[in-house]
Chains A and B, each alone.
Chain A
Amino acid sequence: MTVSQVSFGSHEPVLDVKNLSVKYIGDTRSTTAVDRVSFSIGTGEVFGLAGESGCGKSTIANSIMRLLKDPAKIAGGSISFGGKDVLAMSPEELRGFRWQDVAMVFQSAMNSLNPVLTIGEQIVDIFTTHAGYSRKESLRRAGQLLELVRIDPARLKSYPHQLSGGMRQRAVIAMAVALKPSLLILDEPTTALDVVVQQEIMAQIKELQRELGFSVLFITHDMSLMVELSHRMAVMYGGRIVETAKAQDVYANPRHPYTQALMGAFPPLTGPRVPLTGLPDGVKFRNIPDLTEAAPGHFVAPVSADASAADTAIMEGAAR
């Protein structure tokens, strides 16, 4: 059984990423931001991608949307969406692919609304441009869309600055699902928001997902949030996936030391106060090998502190 065959939803993967590598090419040196990453997302599945800043998770999202700009180059691998090769799409095909097939909510998406147009005008724009509805029909649908995320349709006449951060973020999510995409990419959708609002928005996304049945690629560094929302998840480090399994399995039994460190970085809300350690300063993993199956459906990159083992990740600085 390979990694791409384990999926939570239907067996037909919506998105299949195989051995994807992305490089940032500079004049004197280049950096590999994403290194031979493979995963797949089934229909109706919520797949989480966890990791810290700079680990390559947003680069993956941008590759799927074909939004990478120079100096980033896809150096190898394939991305297929519903059987179509995303990397071979023409600009015309991409226009149809983006938003209608795959929609994305960016990190500070609430600030991406046009400040001089009302919310209504911006939503109507989507329907008239991409779906070809009449203005009247578009307006009706825009109202329904806002109701879907529990915003009063009267708000169609509001400008973005008249809405709070949480409402703007919900409006953006509503816009993302306007054309009923089969995959929604959420890149840190709640980092700029307070916890109370964050929880309500996550609940809303979960509800929308159940109602509309789309798949989700959920990107965050907050492990607690990820485990709560995702069916399956992968943990990234330095452009590689170090562990992937069902979210509950990763939570209950993290196997890679980096995953353990990430889990240990979130103090619990109940129980006694137990000292936590996190990742010691200066610990780095190098030459992370391919994943192997450590338990059924639980794939981990082997680690050993022994530098002579050529096949396993080398843990540096741990002894200091």
Chain B
Amino acid sequence: MSHAVLSSRRPSADTEAAALEVRGLGKSFPLGGLFSRESVRALHGVDLAIGRGEIVALVGESGSGKSTLARCVARLERPSAGEILIDGVDVLKRDRFQASRAFRSQLQMVFQDPFGSLNPAHRVEHFLRRSLAIHRKGGSSETETRQRLEELMTTVGLQADMLNSYPHELSGGQRQRVAIARALAVEPQVILADEPTSMLDVSVRIGVLNLMRKLRDEQGISMLYITHDLASARYLADRTAVMFAGELVEEGESLDLLANAAHPYTQLLVSAVPDPARAGSYDPVRRAELRQAVMASTSCAFDGDPNQACSAEEPVRHGVGDPENRHWVRCHLYRPQAGAGGHALATEPTDNKASA
């Protein structure tokens, strides 16, 4: 194993339009019957920007709203509020009713379950050929298309003769590579990957992560990597954003964020990751304090700092450490109105599959 340190990108901030940016994104789902006015707030005021060639990880527990965000950005769900900008253009205004083909060629998704996302009745070639045909990326002749197909397979690390295989003949890792090739066929500038490795066998997960990094390094594709696995977010992503109860609570350069987690929710997540290097470090008292701090913080670490105004009403963002790391944390005093995931950590130490 080489001990070269992996590169991470720090795009020169704000000099160019972000590849993907969401502003004030909100989504609520109606509850109850047709005439009910109740609703669950799954997302609220999410601001997130992904620079060109940057990998951003979105982490949080189940029910925190990460997948809802992905579905909104992919236009599989209509957001209740906010803007989604690609290259500085608001796609919600441009294509008002549904995602256009132009949008799909800019942004592609890779889903969690490679067993469900590939039609078992077709060969691998069909999936890739269809993507090429729909988005007219197959070139003008059959020879060019063929060449492109083989190129795609090589890019994702599969043998070209697997084009003739059916999905059931492939392993989970190979299927996920096919799903990635299908996304690549369109030559997108952003790939949304929603838990792309959680259904894979552990020994092949890292291979898929390495492939994603390679695509970024070689083709400059930006990625939003959605996961509940902090260690893999740290491994892959340049920046990590933490989502709790439908809102972002902390964001920053991945290594810095995990080393100097400032929000109690991030600290809670970090402390819960199994790590043999610190076996036996679980402390129920500290855990109860963290839970308390997540649900109802009585003080903010920046309270009293004249340069950092605290607020219990506004979601103020405090800068943490070196500005170079673009690390911020939402004021601890601010408490979101409990939405979908809001009671995820409520009084009882429980998990919660709210509004799945």
A interface vs B, CB < 8 Å?
A: 52-53, 150, 163-167, 193-200, 202-203, 221-225, 227-228, 247-248, 251, 258, 261-262, 264-270, 272-281
Contacts and interface: CB of A to CB of B under 8 A. Distances in A.
A251 B6 contact: no
A223 B202 contact: yes
Interface stretch (B10-18, B80-88, B122-130, B346-354): B346-354
B324 interface: no
Contacts of A167: 348, 350
A164 B352 contact: yes
B1 A277 contact: yes
A224 B279 CA distance: 9
Contacts of A272: 5
Contact of B350 (A197, A225, A262): A197
Interface string B255-281: 100110000000011111111110110
Contact of B202 (A193, A247, A262): A262
Interface string B41-65: 0000000000000000000011000
A267 B269 contact: no
A196 B234 contact: no
A257 B210 CA distance: 19
Given A193-B351, A278-B203, A273 B269 contact: no
Nearest to A264: B206
Contacts, number: 145
Given A197-B351, A278-B203, 17 more contacts: A52-B201, A163-B350, A165-B351, A165-B352, A194-B228, A194-B351, A196-B272, A197-B349, A222-B202, A227-B276, A269-B275, A274-B2, A275-B4, A278-B204, A278-B207, A279-B207, A281-B174
Contact of A281 (B173, B259, B276, B282): B173
Contacts of B210: 275-278
B276 A278 contact: no
Interface in B7-41: 8
Contact of B349 (A166, A222, A247): A166
Given A227-B276, A264-B206, A272-B5, A221 B352 contact: no
25 contacts: A52-B203, A195-B230, A196-B351, A197-B350, A198-B272, A199-B282, A200-B287, A200-B349, A203-B282, A203-B284, A221-B201, A223-B202, A228-B279, A248-B276, A261-B203, A265-B202, A268-B231, A268-B275, A269-B234, A269-B258, A274-B1, A275-B6, A277-B210, A279-B204, A281-B157
A281 B157 CA distance: 9
A12 B92 CA distance: 69
A121 B252 CA distance: 50
B284 A273 contact: no
Contact of B235 (A52, A251, A267): A267
Nearest to A53: B201
A165 B279 CA distance: 25
Interface in B202-235: 202-207, 210, 228, 230-232, 234-235
Given A165-B351, A196-B269, A264-B1, A278 B206 contact: yes
B274 A199 contact: yes
B5 A274 contact: yes
Contact of B255 (A150, A164, A273): A273
B96 interface: no
B3 A164 contact: no
A267 B349 contact: no
B171 interface: yes
A68 B203 CA distance: 28
Contacts of A261: 203
B46 to A, nearest CB: 20
A231 B173 CA distance: 31
A166 B202 contact: no
Contacts of A278: 203-207, 210
Nearest to A168: B350
A274 B284 CA distance: 32
A159 B207 CA distance: 43
A224 B229 CA distance: 13
Nearest to A260: B1
Contacts of A247: 276
Question: What are the 10 closest A-B residue pairs judged by CB atoms, nearest first?
Answer: A278-B206, A164-B350, A267-B235, A279-B203, A227-B276, A224-B274, A197-B351, A273-B6, A225-B274, A199-B272
Contacts of A198: 272, 274
Nearest to A223: B202
A281 B231 contact: no
Interface in B162-180: 171, 173-174
Contacts of A225: 274
Residue among B279, B345, B350 facing the most chain A CB atoms (10 A cut-off) = B350
Contact of A164 (B272, B275, B351): B351
B276 A269 contact: no
Nearest to B64: A194
Nearest to A261: B203
A274 B204 contact: no
A175 to B, nearest CB: 18
Contacts of B349: 150, 166, 196-197, 200
A1 B209 CA distance: 42
Given A266-B231, A269-B275, A275 B2 contact: yes
Nearest to B290: A196
A248 B279 CA distance: 10
Nearest to B231: A267
